[in-house]
């Protein structure tokens, strides 16, 4: 990492090196300082947020335009409730997923990058959780209007299960698999 950027961001030069925190860190050591690691982690988080931001913006724009269509007046009370809830969930997701930029801006040059990364990661995770419900609500609403309530509920629930599988169960399973592999490797090395 560029030493000048590190000095500008944190006000001090970074220490020469850090010891790995875990066996997994040791196996994939990057030979970076704690500040360099925090910088890298924040940049990686921002890249992840860029991917989700486009989807949230498209969903929000779609939902905003629905209220101004002629067919909107034909929605029943449950569909209107689903619409308003989904709209508010998409707003909440957008706010949570953009909050890391505000946190960074508010704490810039205060030598707290580790805290920024931790808080931003939690905000992003919460934003993804809310986004899962917003996406499911949007599918529920559209399929309900097009094919009827039972199909809408089934489609919305299916989307939520699909998202839970890919966004939560898959990373959890991979993490457990990696931990088990690391434990077996560490056990053999003794």
What is the tens place of the pLDDT at every residue in 162-179? 999 999 999 999 999 999
Taking only the tens place, the pLDDT of each residue in 126-149 is 999 999 999 999 999 999 999 999
C-alpha to C-alpha distance for 156 and 162, rounded to whole angstroms: 10
CB 103 within 8 A of CB 66: no
Distance CA 104, CA 119 (A): 10
Residue 152 CB-half CA count within 13 A = 16
- Residue 57 CA to residue 62 CA, distance in Å, equals 9
Q: Rounded mean pLDDT of the chain?
A: 86
Q: Distance between CA 7 and CA 72 in Å, rounded? A: 55
Give the pLDDT confidence score for residue 185 in this predicted structure: 86
For the chain, the straight-line distance linking the first and the last C-alpha, in angstroms and rounded, comes to: 35
DSSP string of 57-73? HHHHHHHHHHTTSGGGG
- pLDDT value, residue 188: 65
Q: Please tell me the predicted confidence (pLDDT) of residue 23.
A: 45
Mean pLDDT of 90-109: 94
């Amino acid at each position: 990492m560029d030493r000048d950027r590190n000095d500008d961001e944190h006000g001090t030069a970074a220490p020469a090196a850090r010891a790995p925190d875990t066996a997994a860190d040791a196996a994939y050591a990057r030979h970076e300082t704690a500040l360099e690691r925090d910088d890298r982690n924040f940049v990686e988080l921002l890249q992840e947020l860029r991917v989700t931001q486009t989807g949230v913006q498209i969903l929000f724009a779609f939902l905003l335009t629905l209220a101004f269509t002629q067919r909107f007046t034909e929605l029943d009370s449950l569909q209107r409730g689903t619409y308003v809830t989904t709209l508010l969930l998409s707003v909440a997701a957008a706010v949570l997923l953009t909050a890391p930029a505000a946190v960074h801006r508010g704490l810039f040059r205060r030598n707290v990058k580790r805290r920024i990364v931790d808080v931003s990661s939690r905000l992003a995770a919460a934003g993804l959780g809310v986004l899962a419900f917003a996406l499911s609500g949007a599918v529920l609403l559209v399929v309900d209007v097009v094919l009827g309530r039972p199909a809408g509920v089934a489609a919305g629930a299916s989307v939520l299960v699909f998202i839970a599988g890919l966004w939560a169960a898959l990373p959890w399973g991979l993490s457990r698999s990696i931990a088990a592999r690391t434990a077996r490797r560490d056990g053999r090395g003794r």
